[in-house]
Amino acid sequence: MNTKEMTWRQFMKTKFLHSSEIAKGGQNVTIVDFIYKEAFSKEAGKKEELPSMVIKEYDKPIGMSNRKASQITQLFGDNLKDAIGKTVFLYGKNEKWFGVWDDVLTFKSAEEIKKEALNSKHAKWKGACDAIKSGKSTVEAIEKHYTLTEAVKTSLTKLIPEKDENKTN
């Protein structure tokens, strides 16, 4: 485990998903279920069963606050069953909570997010190519944020470094 590349939240292995643990810039996620998960409540000063939302893309649930519940209600209505199986755009946002600035998770409609087409004329083309060449990113990861034609996917795939089977560390 390379702790130098971790945030404190990742190092401490908290029970709930935090904005530092999701894809930078956010991503579409699918709501699987709403559950109660035991965690320490600052307000109650003890462990309680706290409402949480399970999403398909991560093992950790999202702790639900009144604000998050309101956002889900605005998107899908009051009945929880109407949100299950639906996709939302999950992203981090820096907000003041209890007098402290923190990065928190928030949602918006997945339909609001329009992906740009990535091609050789796009301002971020070189960065995407460099990330693939260095192994820091994949075509699949880039496709989560940009629309890629088959020709662009092929061009990016050709940049993936070959693994040297004979190389030893």
What's the whole-number mean pLDDT along residues 109-119?
78
Domain containing residue 12? 8-112
Q: How confident is the model at residue 54 (pLDDT cuts 50, 70, 90)?
A: very high
Together in a domain, 97 and 131: no
At residue 1 the predicted structure's pLDDT band, cuts being 50, 70 and 90, is: low
**Other C-beta atoms within 10 Å of 139: how many?**
17
Examine the domain organization and report whether 95 and 15 are in the same domain. yes
In a domain, 169, yes or no: no
Tell me how many domains the chain contains: 2
pLDDT band at residue 48, thresholds of 50, 70 and 90?
confident
CA distance 122 to 9: 34
In a domain, 78, yes or no: yes
Give how far Cα 1 sits from Cα of 4, 11, 17, 57, 150, Å: 9, 10, 19, 22, 36
Q: What are phi and psi of 50, to 5 degrees?
A: -105, 140
User: Do residues 98 and 35 share a domain?
Assistant: yes
Same structural domain for residues 107 and 123? Answer: no
Distance CA 59, CA 24 (A): 18
The answer to whether residues 38 and 88 belong to one domain is yes
pLDDT, mean of residues 52-60: 94
Compute how many other C-beta atoms are within 10 angstroms of the C-beta atom of residue 52.
21
Q: Given a cut of 60, is residue 112 above it in pLDDT?
A: yes
pLDDT above 90 for 163: no
